[in-house]
Amino acid sequence: MARKKKSKDRAWLSWSSGKDAAWTLHECRRRGNVQITGLLTVITETFHRVSMHAVREDVLDAQAEAVGVPLHKAYIPFPCSNEQYEAVMARVVQDAKDSGVTAFAFGDLFLEDVRKYREEKLAGTGMKPVFPLWGSDTKALAKEMIEGGLKACITCLDPRKMPKEFAGRVVDEEFLRSIPAGVDPCGENGEFHTFASAGPMFSRPLDIVIGETVERDGFVFTDVLLKKQ
């Protein structure tokens, strides 16, 4: 008797709009073991921007359209308590489950506490946490992304961890050569966050322009705008 082919997990991908999320989508498509049926982005409703990455909602919409995967948005208030955040995410998980999703995919690389938190919150929900990039050497991974055609720029950085002058910069080979010692090449320790605008996971590159840079709440943010046609 022929063995029954194991069905793929249908997953929503935690979509920050940055390079790691984009590369996770690329890896899932390349490996073919997880079907990404949706992108999930947390948006700070007060500002209509992606939480932490500070990407405008209209730019996020254009990005998701270019990626070709349905976008689901989880709106949180500002400020947002842990209780409020977890209540929002619990509703998201239920919505995903109701739509036939069986897993959530994350672009985490090596932070054990973050992975443990995600696993604990999904425990008992019937959802499987998936970490396609887990354990990657971040220097090698950053180079692989760049060589693979991924285009990304820095939208947020922590000035306590790296110089403000890196705000808005493109993540390329020169960037990797110039980051200070101790800064993770993928920014996994919160040194910086990015916005991905082109790469193998896109059907077409986004035409963007870098906007103004501001300091707010202890972080440095650089705006990304869609180029007017």
Quick check: bond before 132 cis, omega within 30? no
Question: Residue 117 contacts by C-beta under 8 Å, 6 or more apart in sequence?
Answer: none
Closest CA to 15 of 48, 64, 54, 88: 64
CATH number of 9-226: 3.40.50.620
pLDDT of residue 5: 55
Which portions of the chain are predicted below pLDDT 50?
1-2
pLDDT recorded at residue 58: 97
Q: Running DSSP on this structure, what letter comes out for residue 181?
A: T
Between strands 49-50 and 208-216, the pairing is unpaired
Strand 34-44 versus strand 208-216 pairing type? unpaired
Q: What is the enclosing helix (H) or strand (E) of 128?
A: strand 128-130
pLDDT tens column, 165-216: 999 999 999 999 999 999 999 999 999 999 999 999 999 999 999 999 999 9
Give the total residue count for the chain.
229
For residues 156 and 53, what is the distance between their CA atoms, to the nearest angstrom?
6
Residues 6+ apart with CB under 8 A from 80: 44
For CA atoms 13, 176, 110, 33, give the dihedral sign. positive
Residue-level pLDDT at 2? 47
